Amino acid sequence: MATTPSLSSPVPSARARLRAVDRDDVAAVAQLLPPGATLLPAPPDAVPVLPGRPPMVGYLVLVPADRQPPFPQAAPAPAGAAEDAGTLIRIDPVRRTAEADSRQLDLTYLEFELLAHLVAHPDRVHTRDRLVSTVWGYGHVGDGRTVDVHIARLRRKLGPEFRDAIRTVRRVGYKYVPPVRR
């Protein structure tokens, strides 16, 4: 029978740090965190649920910006790689701009937030209520029709070639399907 390595033993890679724990087992994760990092439980909806498997527990690790990240970073994509991969709708959250095939979109604040949220979560179905709480905020008073109106305006502004990127999922909500270059 194979034994699992202890969390306190030094490990050569980040992957070796993963191990299954029993229901009553207490994991000493503080030893794995870099100095100054904070560990928070992840929201339940951020952790995948696998059918027929026990629920998973996720954590968010917050690391100060001035510290070297403890995890390997992906190499930055070369210039033009996003367009080569077929990304036709681009969101720049810093400048708060959106482009559809290099054409600047003139969006309102909420239209931008809605499009940015959908593009950040491609192929994921979002209910109207979830979009209202995420994009408009918890204090918003309104209904799902508000989302429908904003989606219709967004589709108009995306134009006929990109309006199908935001798909309606009947009786549920909407999802963003990244368009591909034809």
CB neighbours (10 Å) of residue 31? Answer: 12
Q: Are 165 and 89 in contact (CB under 8 A)?
A: yes
pLDDT at res. 98? 93
Cα-only R_g, the chain? 21
What residue type is 165 in one-letter code? Answer: A
pLDDT at res. 1? 45
Q: Are 174 and 158 in contact (CB under 8 A)?
A: no
For residue 158, what are its two tokens?
């995306």
What count of Cα atoms within 13 Å lies in the side-chain half-sphere of residue 73?
6
Q: To which H or E segment does residue 131 belong?
A: helix 128-131
Q: Which domains does the chain have, with CATH numbers?
A: 19-62 (no CATH), 86-176 (1.10.10.10)
The CA–CA distances, whole Å, from 27 to 7, 13, 18 equal 7, 18, 11
Mean pLDDT, consecutive 10-residue segments, the chain of 182 residues?
A: 45 50 62 71 70 70 64 43 57 90 91 93 90 78 80 94 93 90 67
pLDDT at res. 148? 92
pLDDT at res. 47? 67
In whole angstroms, what separates CA 100 from the centre of its chain?
20
Q: Are 117 and 91 in contact (CB under 8 A)?
A: no
pTM for the model? 0.54
